[in-house]
Amino acid sequence: MAVPAGARSVFTDGACSGNPGPGGWAWALSTTEFASGHESPSTNQRMEIRAALEAVRSLSGPLLVVSDSTYVVNCFRDRWHAGWQARGWVTSAKTPVANRDLWEPLVTLVAERGDVAFQWVKGHSGHAMNDFVDQLAVEASRSAPTVTAVPAPVAEPEPDTLW
């Protein structure tokens, strides 16, 4: 995957406390230019995709999306999306593509723009910008509302009427 001329590197990451659980995503061009958000309930994979989607949506001009998610990077490097689209958003195992609601707009934006490439970086390896977006995503996941199961109300019996 060729890096477009003049591309800015945008680092992306997702985090989830539990899987599923409260999730957070983040992207950063630098330690002063970044965005993050959250979703609950979510999964780590959803947050990784969402981080890339939000970066591509938010930033104009040629981009190199740097992610520690092989799921995100391999989708574009190995063109998984082409097979999914050809099969009507079904995997080679004949199951629906997970997180299609995020993949479809990301794949469409990348194709329409034509100036976005993806690169993998090893996570938690001391890479300053990867560690920075990881911290942002974790902080965002902590601000996501926690969803807990609430027991269904028990119906009260009708009072006996003694008329």
Domains parsed from the chain with CATH numbers: 8-143 (3.30.420.10)
Per-residue pLDDT reduced to its tens digit, 63-114? 999 999 999 999 999 999 999 999 999 999 999 999 999 999 999 999 999 9
Q: Which segments within 4-150 are labelled E, that is strand?
A: 8-16, 21-28, 34-42, 63-67, 116-120
Alpha-carbon separation of residue 102 from 30, 72, 124 (angstroms): 24, 11, 25
Tell me if the pTM is above 0.85.
Answer: yes
Provide the pLDDT for residue 33.
97
Q: Which residues are catalytically annotated?
A: 13-14, 48, 68, 124, 134
Count of CB atoms situated within 10 Å of the CB of 49 = 26
Query: How many angstroms separate the most distant Cα atoms in the chain?
Result: 87
Higher pLDDT, 25 or 161: 25
Provide the pLDDT for residue 53.
98
pLDDT of 155 > 60? The answer is: no
| Contact by Cβ (8 Å): 23, 40 | yes
pLDDT of 32 > 50? The answer is: yes
pLDDT of 162 > 60? The answer is: no
